[in-house]
Chains A and B, each alone.
Chain A
Amino acid sequence: MSSAMYERMRVNPKFQELVARRGRFAWTLAAIVLIMFYGFVMVVAFAPQSLGQPIAEGSRWTVGVVVELFMFIFFWVLTAVYVRRANTEFDALSQEVVREAWKENK
């Protein structure tokens, strides 16, 4: 593939902006998932008792069930948030970068 095209895209400030913005967003979300998940694994490993406690006096729901259910939903919501932003804002920006590189080509 034409290296000149890639070179033009790379120097476009919009490309830098795309990479910086999308990278920051993706890594932030990834960090949230990793910290919550491995934090949870640590609690399972070191303080398992705390997960077996009821959420309220007399309730059958335990902290562990609520926390896990929350993570299932929350992680999925994060994927939805990422897909939404990547498929609109970031994709538009990246198409612009490609289009501008084509224009210069002519």
Chain B
Amino acid sequence: MRKIISALGLLSLCTLAVAADAVGATEKQATNWHAIIMFCIFVTLTMGITYWAASRTKSTSDFYTAGGGITGFQNGLAIAGDYMSAATLLGLTAMVYMQGYDGYIYMLCFFAGWPIILFLMAERLRNLGKFTFSDITAYRLDQGKVRTMAAVSSLTVVCFYLIAQMVGAGQLIKLLFGLEYNVAIFAVGILMMVYVTFGGMVATTWVQIIKACMLLAGGSLVMFLAMGHFNFSFTNVLDQAMSVHKLGEKLMHPGSLLADPVTAISLGLGLMFGTAGLPHILMRFFTVTDAKEARKSVLYASGFVAYFFNVIFLMGLTAIIIVGQNPEFFEGGEIGKKLIGGGNMVAMHLAKAVGGDMLLGFLAAVAFATILAVVSGLALAGASAISHDIYARVIKKGTASEAAEIRVSKIATICLGFVAIVLGIAFEKQNIAFMVGLAFGVAAAANFPVLILSMYWKGLTTRGALWGGYGGLVSAVLFVLFSKSVWVDVLGNAAPLFPYTQPALFAMPVAFLLAYLFSKSDSSVRAQSEIEAFDDQYVRAQTGYGAASASNH
């Protein structure tokens, strides 16, 4: 039964692609002391940083954006850290191990959004934004309504993403550290609250940077040692992998996962523009001094992401031979049976095979650190939507004191932490593979269209933005709800009402169309002044004159 669950888990993981963050049901393993000790070192180090960061986190600007003083290189590492979750390491390695070339295709989809973000968005984001991306959408539109809408869709994205991460964290930690599921959930939730409430963006950024370095170093080391078994020849790897893998020559052919063109295109759109609408990623653009550093951030981040995806590709391929041909890693010691711990353990087994218990422990600690860092980034983005958008701008209409705003965001962080713990426990036994897909879908259909239109289209009015934003949000959620991954797999209905699993290709046009129609037909006086205000916004977006500047420390 377990075998079927994890096989299904892995399968849905593959079909969804974006569900790479989801981890299937797992079994508790023997307590792994190497991993626990190394993880404790990581926690001690990051707690030290949080303590230091707490003394530097006084103003709202410190709390949300680390005072805007992060350099492009640091921010690039932090963005890469935000973007590469534990599932990137474990899920994608497993996918290459199982499906070969298909895994590589997904990685390109995850990567291709970055150049587009740089060319079309990075500079304007930095020049117009201050703390959250709704600063940009609400720049010339009705503050109250547009910020409420942006906060609602941000929180929706954050919650779906948090569920996926928390459930994945619980399963993984059970697997890697041999701790109870609930213990793991509480540990992640509480550590996250400590980082964010005390250290704000400064601590969160450094947690991301350290984690990104650990991930890059750990992955590279495993890849290097594994490639050593093949005299560092890619031809040798392919040769042997094809001869032992059950797919044979087909290993390097695109498989069945993207056979349907609609799914392929929808997936490509969802991953590309979903990335450009994730609140915790967008928020990172406001932590740097100016547009120049924002551009550099993307350059470094995309370099690290591209490099690491290629490392993972090599890890997956070498694992086919090193792990796949070693009976020690299979249940009952029989090659071809189920891998010990399930499909997601491929990267871990590879680490053990090439570097022994120490390297395994290190990589397990990296995976835990990774989850913690991603969850912290999400919590900070969610908390700032509540405190900066809802509390300070909508409820208090800009009259809230900085101290009060920070207090609200700390309370919001703690609430989000408890929500994450409760959801993590509630969804333990659920198939959460669709959650990350849903998060990307909502980001691509609700956040991205309004954001890009507000920066590029003069004619956007409050009415259009609201219809576009809410329309995209509702349609993305409904398309996923009626698709196979929820309607059939979770709710147990016989046939899906909507035939495709990827919402982006359908929900994005809905959002754009609604935004266009309701802006065009908006003849109010307010709309007229909003359209006129675009000219000033445009000059600021282009030159950065008047942009929020770094505080002086």
Contacts and interface: CB of A to CB of B under 8 A. Distances in A.
B244 interface: no
B242 A72 contact: no
A86 B123 contact: yes
A83 B295 contact: yes
B234 A61 contact: yes
A19 B254 contact: no
Contacts of A75: 111-112, 114-115, 302, 306
Nearest to B255: A48
Interface size range of chain A in the complex? 35 or more
Interface size range of chain B in the complex? 35 or more
Interface in B163-222: none
A80 B234 CA distance: 27
Contact of B108 (A34, A37, A82, A87): A37
Interface string B303-347: 100100110000000000000000000000000000000000000
Given A37-B268, A41-B265, A41-B268, 4 more contacts: A29-B119, A30-B115, A72-B310, A94-B542
Contacts of A82: 115, 118-119, 295
Given A44-B105, A52-B250, A61-B234, A15 B295 contact: no
A27 B104 contact: no
B318 to A, nearest CB: 14
Interface in A53-102: 59-62, 64-65, 68-69, 71-73, 75-76, 78-80, 82-83, 86-87, 91, 94, 97-98, 101
Interface in B206-247: 234-235, 238-239, 242
B119 A68 contact: no
A76 B261 contact: no
Given A45-B258, A76-B306, A87-B296, A61 B235 contact: yes
Contacts of B254: 44, 48, 51-52, 64
28 contacts: A1-B536, A1-B540, A9-B539, A10-B535, A15-B539, A26-B120, A29-B115, A30-B115, A30-B120, A33-B116, A41-B258, A42-B264, A48-B259, A51-B254, A52-B250, A52-B252, A52-B254, A59-B235, A64-B101, A72-B310, A75-B115, A76-B115, A79-B118, A86-B292, A87-B292, A87-B295, A91-B291, A97-B543
Nearest to A63: B252
A45 B259 contact: yes
Contacts, number: 156
A29 to B, nearest CB: 5
Contact of B116 (A34, A48, A52, A76): A34
B contact patch SS: helix
Contacts of B542: 15, 18-19, 22, 94
Contacts of A41: 109, 258, 264-265, 268
B108 A72 contact: yes
A33 B112 contact: yes
A52 B253 CA distance: 4
B253 A51 contact: yes
Interface-central residue, B295, B299, B536, B539, by most chain A CB under 10 Å: B539
Nearest to B272: A37
Interface string B258-280: 11110011001000100000000
B104 A68 contact: yes
Contacts of B265: 38, 41, 45
Contacts of A38: 265, 268
Contacts of B310: 69, 72
Contacts of B260: 45
A52 to B, nearest CB: 3
Given A15-B539, A64-B254, A79 B299 contact: yes
Nearest to A75: B115
Interface string B531-553: 00001101110111110000000
Interface-central residue, A15, A46, A79, A82, by most chain B CB under 10 Å: A79
